[in-house]
């Protein structure tokens, strides 16, 4: 089934719920009926609850899945963490596995530090820990990016995704670019993209260690990763020395899109306690 039809079916069969937390409106999809709950958190440049729908579709067959979209007005790490906590409280989820892609990896690690008792395991995909040099650059450049016109920011996001999707079939690439162009962050009136940049800036040194949580961890990397350097990925590994590491050959930053079957299989094996 073409990816466009998969998405159309997903939207028809999955309702998006809303929850207001401290003035921020969160969206989420609660699906599946398994005993174990998996919380799915998207990466940077995406705030919709359905943006990782291929992963959600694969997991919901065996697990309860709560896919969370970021509130477009949340601008601090604390707001994001507390928003996720509130969604889980609202859904009656006491503990879960968390799966985050890219920025979602930062978010799930922050949540695990704040509420370690509520996290059974972490799946960190295409994420890392910034080196001091990169963090200094972020501190300099992000404040500048935040005040740029929305049209400039949107163009940068569009160009980024065009580069990241170069290796996928043309029909899939057309679908994902259409998805990006219709997304909340492209809305000229939305604060979503600027808010996300503010959250990234707020992370700074908040995740300097993995202190406070020592559960099971799966780290999914891509052999052709462009979002993070090898050194940054190695630092993340050092924070979780007992982690299972899976490297997807030939994949770039959007591994869950370009290598969906291997990504989903790796996640499924880890959740089931099987070796990849």
| d(C-alpha 89, C-alpha 87), whole Å | 5
In a domain, 262, yes or no: yes
In a domain, 76, yes or no: yes
In a domain, 276, yes or no: no
| d(C-alpha 68, C-alpha 257), whole Å | 18
Would you say 55 and 175 are in contact if contact means Cβ atoms under 8 Å apart? no
Q: What is the pTM of this model?
A: 0.95
In a domain, 52, yes or no: yes
| CA atoms lying within 13 Å on the CB side of residue 232 | 19
Element (H, E) at 136: helix 132-146
| d(C-alpha 78, C-alpha 85), whole Å | 10
Query: For residue 148, what is the DSSP state?
Result: S
Give Cα 41 distance to the centre of its chain.
Answer: 4
CATH number assigned to the domain comprising residue 267: 3.40.50.1820
Q: Which domain holds residue 78?
A: 3-271
| CA atoms lying within 13 Å on the CB side of residue 198 | 18
Structural domain count, the chain: 1
In a domain, 28, yes or no: yes
Tokens of 100: 């985050």
In a domain, 51, yes or no: yes
Tokens of 235: 């630092």
Encode the chain (276 residues) as per-residue pLDDT tens digits: 899 999 999 999 999 999 999 999 999 999 998 899 999 999 988 889 999 999 999 999 999 999 999 999 999 999 999 999 999 999 999 999 999 999 999 999 999 999 999 999 999 999 999 998 988 998 999 999 999 998 999 899 899 999 999 888 899 999 999 999 999 888 888 888 899 999 999 987 667 666 667 899 999 999 999 999 999 999 999 999 999 999 999 999 999 999 999 999 999 999 998 776
């Amino acid at each position: 089934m073409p990816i466009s039809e998969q998405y159309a079916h997903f939207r028809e069969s999955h309702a998006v719920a809303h929850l207001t937390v401290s003035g921020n409106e969160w969206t989420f999809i609660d699906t599946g009926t398994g005993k174990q709950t998996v919380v799915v958190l998207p990466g940077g440049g995406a705030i919709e609850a359905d943006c990782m729908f291929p992963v959600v579709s694969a997991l919901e067959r065996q697990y309860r899945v709560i896919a969370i979209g970021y509130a477009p007005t949340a601008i601090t790490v604390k707001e994001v963490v507390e928003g996720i906590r509130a969604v889980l409280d609202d859904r009656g989820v006491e503990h879960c596995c968390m799966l985050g892609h890219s920025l979602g990896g930062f978010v799930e690690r922050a949540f695990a530090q704040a509420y370690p008792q509520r996290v059974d395991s972490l799946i960190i995909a295409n994420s890392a820990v910034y080196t001091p040099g990169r963090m200094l650059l972020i501190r300099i450049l992000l404040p500048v990016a935040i005040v740029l016109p929305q049209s400039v920011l949107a163009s940068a996001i569009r160009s980024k995704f065009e580069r990241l999707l170069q290796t996928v079939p043309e029909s899939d690439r057309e679908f994902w670019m259409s998805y990006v162009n219709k997304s909340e962050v492209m809305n000229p009136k939305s604060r979503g993209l600027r808010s996300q940049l503010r959250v990234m800036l707020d992370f700074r040194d908040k995740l300097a260690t993995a202190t406070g949580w020592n559960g099971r961890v799966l780290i999914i990397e891509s052999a052709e990763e462009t979002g993070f350097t090898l050194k940054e990925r190695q630092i993340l590994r050092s924070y979780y020395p007992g982690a299972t590491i899976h490297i997807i050959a030939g994949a770039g930053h959007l591994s869950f899109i370009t290598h969906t079957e291997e990504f989903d299989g790796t996640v499924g094996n880890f959740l089931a306690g099987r070796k990849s």
